[in-house]
Each structure stands twice: as structure tokens, then as C-alpha cells.
Amino acid sequence: MYLGGDDDGMSDAVERLSIYLHLAHASQLRGRLHVRDRLLILAGVIAAENKLTRIAACCRHRVLQHNPQHLLGRWPTLSEALADADFAHFLRHLYRRYPDERAERMLVTLGIERGCERATYFSDEEYASSLLRVPFTALEQFGPGENP
């Protein structure tokens, strides 16, 4: 697991992940659960692509809790969904609706300041779990974590 070194690829991914998780939480606070679900899917995909499988599973779980009939229910994991053409089509639609640049602007508009918050956590997974408002130990329900 990445622990905050010089790997720009992972730090960029964690940056993107944090933006979508912050926006998902803000949407939840405003009672916009369908918007929250879309943002959680984008966050979950970023997590899955970067081997943060428990974070991806948690995002998927939250979407299916709210909407058990959601398209995500067709696959047991987001990683498996990513390999399917139907999901890829759906994902392209989501990224057109919420591209990274728009997500960053939304974050600024909401007045969410992130500063150097990632630096206060031991791992990317611990950081993401805090943004999901899930105790780190509760991630155990989504499988074993990676060894640092």
C-alpha cells in the first residue's frame, strides 16, 4: 500500500478520490442521495483502479444500500464491473457529467478546504475511510486490507 512517498500517480489518484468523497458527503448532507451515489461510484472506481479494494467495496455498498436495484448490483465488485461494456458506457456518462475539473470547481464553490489533510493519516486507505465517515476498523467487513 502507498504510504505517501513520491509516487505522483498514486497521490494524484488519492487527490481525485478525496474530491469525489468530499462531494459525496456534501451531497448526502443536502439530502441529494442520487447525486451522492453517482459521486460514490466515481470515487469507488478510482479506489478500485488504485487497489484500494475495501474503499471501493464500501462505496459500492453505500450505493446499493440506498438503491438495491442499481446497475452496480450486477457485479460483485467494482473491479469486475470495470471489465464490462455496459458499466463502461455508464461510467463514461458519469465522467461527462462530473469530470475532474467540474468536481474541483464544485468543491471550491462549496467552500471545502482540504489543505494537507492527507498527511495526517498513515495510509491512503485510512484517509479515504475518514472521508467516508467509516471507522478504519469497520473496513474489515469488506475483506482483508493490504499489508503496508
- Give the other-Cβ count within 10 Å of 49's Cβ: 15
Between CA 61 and CA 45 the distance in angstroms is 13
pLDDT of 102 over the 90 cut: yes
Between CA 48 and CA 57 the distance in angstroms is 8
72, 59 in Cβ contact below 8 A? no
Q: Which residue has the higher pLDDT, 116 or 85?
A: 85
pLDDT given for residue 117 in this prediction = 76
Report the predicted TM-score, pTM, of the whole model to 2 decimal places. Answer: 0.83
Provide mean pLDDT across the span 83-102.
Answer: 95
Confidence of residue 146 (pLDDT cuts 50, 70, 90): low
48, 78 in Cβ contact below 8 A? yes
Length of the chain: 148
Any idea which residue has 467552500 for its cell? 111
Share of the chain above pLDDT 70, in %: 88
pLDDT given for residue 145 in this prediction = 64
Provide mean pLDDT across the span 9-34.
Answer: 90
- The identity of residue 82, as a single letter, is L
pLDDT of 112 over the 90 cut: no
Residue 117 grid cell: 489533510
pLDDT given for residue 103 in this prediction = 93
Provide mean pLDDT across the span 100-110.
Answer: 90
Provide mean pLDDT across the span 31-42.
Answer: 97
Q: Specify burial of residue 21 (Cβ count, 10 A radius: 0-12, 13-18, 19+).
A: buried
pLDDT given for residue 7 in this prediction = 43
Between CA 138 and CA 95 the distance in angstroms is 29
Provide mean pLDDT across the span 54-71.
Answer: 96
